[in-house]
Chains A and B, each alone.
Chain A
């Protein structure tokens, strides 16, 4: 269901629709399955298609950050709307997660 591409250890996933506590559960499961591949070191979450987001997404990103940091990897987010930035900044997320243009 998730649209993604893998290239040289970098996994880019395009999130879309409304991200809340309920909708995030299947996304988390699918993401973790993709991250089971030990070759993946860097996760890029493309947020362009996200039409709604609450604080549930903070937990999702921090959880994946912890998993990847354990294997020396990283998480970044890209194409975030100002509203998405506002919620991520509230949690200080950009101190651990890079925001790409």
Chain B
């Protein structure tokens, strides 16, 4: 599939960058003229994945989170959220609703459930001690505006 646009962003695993990552992904999909619903879906899923990288991947220790977004010709958006943190031992268990390793911190354990309901596909690759990549895919139904297409 032909790529329409692509971007990579590396940022420190700090809480303030959760909102930054949401802003960046919004700016990336905005030229497609997505519906407010689609935009909020993407922002929420990215927010969950980035929070997971910071809170679980790096367990609030220093590290780098990478956001890699690709927009394909058919308006499918693919976002990889990549960390080089501690990884996930049991991916199926981690994706179970209400499962959390942070009982003390009031994490709800609903992050993956939220990602799965707002995106078309969610996949996870992880190696303990090496890191985790969460891949989020969404087919954006909105079309580019005429003016954007002509430009």
Contact = CB atoms under 8 A, between A and B. Distances in A.
Contact of B113 (A25, A63, A90): A90
Contact of B15 (A21, A54, A55): A21
Contacts, number: 67
**Chain B interface main SS type:** helix
Given A20-B19, A22-B15, A55-B114, A83 B40 contact: yes
Given A54-B114, A87-B114, A63 B106 contact: yes
A22 B108 CA distance: 14
**Chain A interface main SS type:** helix
Contacts of A83: 40
Given A25-B15, A59-B107, A91-B108, A20 B51 contact: yes
Interface of B: 14-16, 18-19, 22, 40, 43-44, 47-48, 51, 54-55, 97-98, 105-108, 110-111, 113-114, 117
